Amino acid sequence: MTLNFDILGGETKARLLAAFPGYSEGFVRCQPGNLLMPLFFKKDWQTYFNFQLRNEDVFILSFPKSGTTWTQEMVWLIANNCDFQGAKKLLRERVPFLEDRTLGTEDSLKMFLEMSKKESESSVSSDIIIEPNYIDALPSPRYIKSHLPLSYLPPNLVDSCKVVYVARNPKDVAVSWYFHHLLDPIMNTNLTVEEFVEFFIRDEVLYAPYWTNLIDAWNMRNHPNFLFLFYEDLKMDLPAQLQRICRFLGKEELTVDQISALAIHLKFDNFKVNPSVNAQELQEAGYFKKDGNFIRKGQIGDWKNYFGERLNSQFDEWIEKCTQGTDLKFPQ
């Protein structure tokens, strides 16, 4: 596949740089799908599109802040027979992030790779940035996370591998994505939450458009190698969803004791303080700021604390417009 890149300039570039000054190198719009990414993506996209798959690979996909980390942990644990001891290893090493290096700038990548070398003999993991060669070297079965739309991943992905996709109400996604930007020194934004949500609606945040990512996955939901999950279903009936994941992965049905142990492990209060999943090591290394939490609230409907009547009405109109012609409905 050949991608078309539009390096943004003029008023659009100025608006984005004012909102996200850490991305001083600029942004690109990528076709197909009008994907917005840092300029660095233009150099790296073939690495992801041509990534060498193995039939045993399991991919966990989502738009950012859709419950990905939670889903990664439950998929890995189910696939590994509830190996809670093994789950003490950092999640980002057990389920690495395919395009990790792309979310910064060339300068920030050099800085973090240098930090990795300095930290390699300390208590902080040396893999501050996950490079593709790290994933290449992992033994099978590999578990891999990505936020890229399906059209930017290997064309034979769904036919060759198991894919778990998790979707979340876009109102909660927008709010959570905003707070993630405040945590990340490169993504850091000057916007208020209301202003950020308006950028989200205009497809002017990283990985936008939200709907392209989601609907491409929704259209694959009946493929035998594709499991489409709603975050809200996971929150409302975790045992049933755990069994769905179990069946999809071809594992024996979970026992009552296993479900109970998973529920305790995945309970938000426990998850938030679990150092293998909460990015504590990245905060210690300076990759994230220390005055915030990577695992923030995990609630359904937290958007209600931030949306006024006007913004909510605007968002509802956007949802209705973007879901016309689909049967996509979020759980209530």
DSSP secondary-structure letter at 97?
B
For residues 39 and 313, give the distance between their C-alpha atoms in angstroms, rounded to a whole number: 33
Q: Catalytic pick from 147, 181, 223, 265?
A: 147
Residue 126 neighbours by CB under 8 Å, 6+ apart: 116, 117, 119, 120
Rounded to whole angstroms, how far apart are CA atoms 174 and 250? 34
Find out whether 63 and 207 touch, Cβ atoms under 8 Å: yes
CA distance linking residue 288 with residue 282, whole number of Å: 6
The answer to whether 68 and 173 are in contact (CB under 8 A) is no
d(CA 98, CA 59) in angstroms, rounded, equals 10
User: Is 181 an annotated catalytic residue?
Assistant: no
317: Cβ–Cβ under 8 A, 6 or more apart, which residues? none
| Residues with a known catalytic role | 147
